[in-house]
Amino acid sequence: MSIAPPSSGSATPLLLRSTGPMLEVDHITKSYGTVRAVSDVSFSVPAGQIVGLLGPNGAGKSTTMKAILGLVRPEIGSIRVLGQDVTRFPVAVKRAIGYVPESTSLYEFLTGAEYLDFVADLYGLDGATRTARIEQFLTGLELSGHENSLISGYSQGMKQKVALIAGLVHHPRLLILDEPLNGLDPRSARVVKEVLRNLARIEGVGVLFSTHVLEIAQAICDQVVILRKGSVIASGTVDALRNRAGMSSSDLEDVFLSLTETGDLSDVVTALSK
């Protein structure tokens, strides 16, 4: 069973109507003390496309996402969501974004239904709209029958489903997803992937999708951006990156390991096998 993209109006303010890219990251640099987390990072997320943000641990993905969300401010560069600077219009920008973090942080003293109703209220959804959308997602992700139980009693996968619904319920124009399929059973993961494809292709939503599972990135992303040591080292379609690496018949995992200079693992494997 799949979930169709919401067909009714969006809570996105008129301020953010734009025909350009959903997201533009323009030469941002951010340091923490003497440590430079990202350096001169630029990329965009066009309307209707899923862009994968990839990189080894410590590459700068989390800092980049926090900057997009307005949680940290770069020293250099700018970020625009639907044409508007995230530092000048923080509330309007946040209303246009749907965010699913890598680690779910929910109000576990609430039931699933109470939490989702609370989130929908924050985004100003009217009663009929929120009820229809929440019920649609609960059914599609097989949470129906559990919505009146406390979140504290949910499994990790159930909590992840609630976080996904909370990120999608207000029909955002830009989705920022950090390992969104963590803990999901295969059926639910398939549903979420199909929903993301539909939102991008049919509704024109832009999706920034960070994952370490490169098979998923290869399967659903229109383009990928690869970070290493805080900088963009490659971006483009999977085929373009294959050609750049001279690996036209390889999968994204091999291309990624080659471009990030982490492909020769023989010494590590040998040491760990002793």
Residue 101 to residue 178: CA distance in whole angstroms: 5
**Rg of the Cα trace of the chain?**
19
Along the 274 residues of the chain, how does pLDDT read in single tens digits? 445 544 444 444 445 555 689 999 999 999 999 999 999 999 999 999 999 999 999 999 999 999 999 999 999 999 999 999 999 998 889 899 999 998 888 999 999 999 999 999 999 999 899 999 999 999 999 999 999 999 999 999 999 999 999 999 999 999 999 999 988 999 999 999 999 999 999 999 999 999 988 999 999 999 999 999 999 999 999 889 888 888 877 889 888 888 887 655 455 444 444 5
Non-local (6+) Cβ contacts of 164 within 8 A are: 100, 137, 141, 180, 192
pLDDT digits (tens, 9 = 90+) for 115-131: 999 999 999 999 899 99
Round to whole Å and give the CA distance between 108 and 15. Answer: 34
Spatial separation of the C-alpha atoms in residues 24 and 21, rounded to whole Å = 7
Q: How far apart are CA 153 and CA 106, in angstroms?
A: 12
**Token match 């989390």: residue?**
62
Q: Are strands 50-54 and 223-228 parallel, antiparallel or unpaired?
A: parallel
The Cα 11–Cα 49 span in angstroms is 21
Q: Which two tokens stand for residue 85?
A: 């600077």
Burial class of residue 250 (count of CB atoms within 10 Å of its CB; 0-12, 13-18, 19+) = middle
**Residue ranges per structural domain of the chain:** 14-236
Buried b (16+ CB within 10 A) or exposed e, 90-109: eebbbbbbbbbbbebebeee
Are the C-beta atoms of residues 182 and 155 closer than 8 Å to each other? no
* Superfamily classification of domain 14-236: P-loop containing nucleotide triphosphate hydrolases (3.40.50.300)
Query: What is the model's pTM?
Result: 0.87
- Give yes or no for a contact between 138 and 165, defined as CB atoms under 8 angstroms apart: yes
